Structure 1
Amino acid sequence: MKIAACIDEAGTVSTLNRTAAICLFGRENSGWTEQDRIAFDLASNPTLAERKAVLRDLATRLGDCRVLLTAGEVGIVPAILQEELGFRLWRSEGDLAEQLDSVAAHEAEVAEKAAKAALSPPIPIPTAPLGLGGGCGGGGSPRRRGGPAPTAEILAQAKVALEIVGDPADSRFRLDLAALLDSGAGLNSRDILVPILVGPPFRSLEILCDHPPRWLAETAAGLGLIVTIESLDEGVRVTVTRRNSA
């Protein structure tokens, strides 16, 4: 297995915004071995175009390695790495070897879950509009009527910590996407949001993030969802609702 790590001049794991090197490590019988060291400096490349060019060059230099250990990232840089270049970002603590071992263990866990998910039946995409009633007679289950799914079912489907907004029966949720992406869990916005968007119906989902995921608007439109964006003092609030929802 190969893991890239952002290392500063003192030899400790650093953030990408500091002048450092990206070291590529491979695990062998004797432990972790440094296989390559790539000079890396975002500070002298302040514009978005320059930073994208530096990150694309880094991705090319790292070959098929898309696992990156840093001291924690915020802003546009992790978004580019995850959304456009397919990296999984991790943050850990301890000495370097311990952190590499920790990332490797988490990567193995993610791979195992992905393998199990691949064997599971696909999640159906809900197409019925969200309604409050069941029509004449009021019979049938909420799912068949297109009504809100039980809160517990949505929470289980999401596999992330959703905050319930208001009455749980209203199926309104809030998700701090920025915090999840910065948690070092190795997830990107697609990993987190797609299971929610294609899962059991909800009335609204507030997403707190540094910027709207670039893929979200098109994907949401294809699922019959409406996306609105509101600027906050820090970041943005993206609200996803279903058409005809109250």
Structure 2
Amino acid sequence: MGAVREKMLMITEDLGDCSIFLGKRVDGIPYSVLKKSGFVIAEADGNPEEFLDELMEMIIESKEKEAKRRKAQDTVIEPIALEKQGEYFINLERVQNNNPGISSKKILQPFLKNKPFRELKIVCNHIPKWIENELMTLGMKFEVKKLTEGEFEVKVYNQFNDEKTLVNR
């Protein structure tokens, strides 16, 4: 078995910049070695050369969809609604990493002032200095829980309970 693994490693090195492996059947040690080496593995009956263009189109399409999904995810800079009515979540650290130069205040203040909600869960690497005074001014309560070293969850509770306002927004 060691010889097969070594031969496959030599083949992957010989393939250079190639990252796609198309064959009639790929399993066992060859599959494992190719997968660990970062190859996209595809199987097809018939002459593999006949499927290369189609496979390349599928891979490009898949990468484009993934890029669009990531871009859409990265551009969301406000809390997202959870399943329960009136509950929202935001990972402040992730949003700020994806949108350098945007402060926690610019991200959270419009939401806190304008969006009806019951509970907002904020995951962050530090508690924003401005948030306690802002929440007191808005009549909101909050609690802080340390998740890990350098990671906190801040739960903000809005005191309004008007179901009609929640449903209509």
Where on the TM-score scale, by shorter chain, does this alignment land: which range? 0.3 to 0.5
* TM-score, structure 2 normalization: 0.47
* TM-score, structure 1 normalization: 0.33
Q: Which has the larger radius of gyration?
A: 2
Q: Which has the higher helix share?
A: 2
